[in-house]
Amino acid sequence: MTSISAKRGVPARRPRATVHRRTPGAWAVLVSLAVLAVVMLLPFVIITFNAFKSPADYSSHGPLSVPKGLYLQGIKDFWERVDFGAKLVNSLIISGSVAILAVILSVLNAYALGIGRIKGRVSILVLFLLANTVPQEVLVYPLYFLSKKVGLYDTRLSIIIIFTAIQTAFGTYLLSSVLSAFPREILEAARMDGAGRFRVLWRVVVPISRPTLGVLFVFFFIWTWNEFFLPMIFLISNENQTVPVALGVLQGQKLMDATMTSASALLGIIPAVVFFLIFQRTLTRGITVGAVK
């Protein structure tokens, strides 16, 4: 906190020029990375295989075999059965709203805690961290009674509010420590130029920490997208349900439809993967506040 981590004029790290001759060490790293990649991708490959298998093919050849033909009925049936398009819209509304609101709130909180250095900020941060570690199961009943009292039970708004609070807790914690290392001379320069607190926030702090905010936005979106437990409890009408809750429809009491479950899993992860691919450049920019311009 006392040292200024980002030095004036240091450009963002550029990719190193390609090294043409690899040392044995580099080869070892490459091979182990390749193995790791295969291990990571294997479940996706298996899901993809099973998504395109007919149930009879699955039953007679098992889950690991290569599909004998392209069977699209599973995906089509699942899409129609749960009205998947509507579920996508729900998930998009909820995750998008949560991501935007949580980033805004996190910035405001972190501005006060990290740059404003208000009194008792350490204890406040600890409180936020504690809020993060509370398991969702504990929250269920209090939230259920609260939302019933204010008439938000079974609305998308209830989930948006709950997850905005949950994600903001993490965002505040993270952003506060990032902003506490914010170059002081920039803030002083802005103040000398006559900028008020609000102006400093919007004209100086936010633009400079934009990559970090982008990362937070993407994380919040994907985390909220993948949430299952609370949305399942709160969104009881089918027309309010999110994608992961809709996938739960396929879990029977004693049986599971493995091919359709795979088809639905494939449909369920595609949006998150697409979102990640679109925003991956933001992600790679890292968590720290970049160079001073």
Smallest gap from residue 218 Cβ to other proteins (A): 10
Q: Judged by CB, which is closer to other proteins: 5, or 238?
A: 238
CA distance linking residue 107 with residue 72, whole number of Å: 45
DSSP 220-247: HHHHHHH--HHHHHH--SGGG--HHHHH
CA distance linking residue 47 with residue 263, whole number of Å: 8
Q: Judged by CB, which is closer to other proteins: 27, or 141?
A: 141
Smallest gap from residue 184 Cβ to other proteins (A): 27
* Distance from chain centroid for Cα 181: 24
3-state helix, strand, coil in the chain (%, to 5): 70, 0, 30
Q: Judged by CB, which is closer to other proteins: 12, or 19?
A: 12
Smallest gap from residue 18 Cβ to other proteins (A): 24
Smallest gap from residue 220 Cβ to other proteins (A): 11
Q: Judged by CB, which is closer to other proteins: 59, or 132?
A: 59
Tokens of 18: 């390609």
**What residues line the site for other proteins (CB under 8 A)?**
55-56, 58-63, 81-82, 89, 92-94, 96-97, 99-101, 144, 148, 152-157, 160, 210, 214, 217, 232-233, 236-238, 245, 248-258, 278-279, 281-282
Q: Judged by CB, which is closer to other proteins: 154, or 276?
A: 154
Tokens of 92: 């998009």
Smallest gap from residue 95 Cβ to other proteins (A): 8
- Alpha carbon distances (Å) from 120 to 116, 124, 179: 12, 6, 17
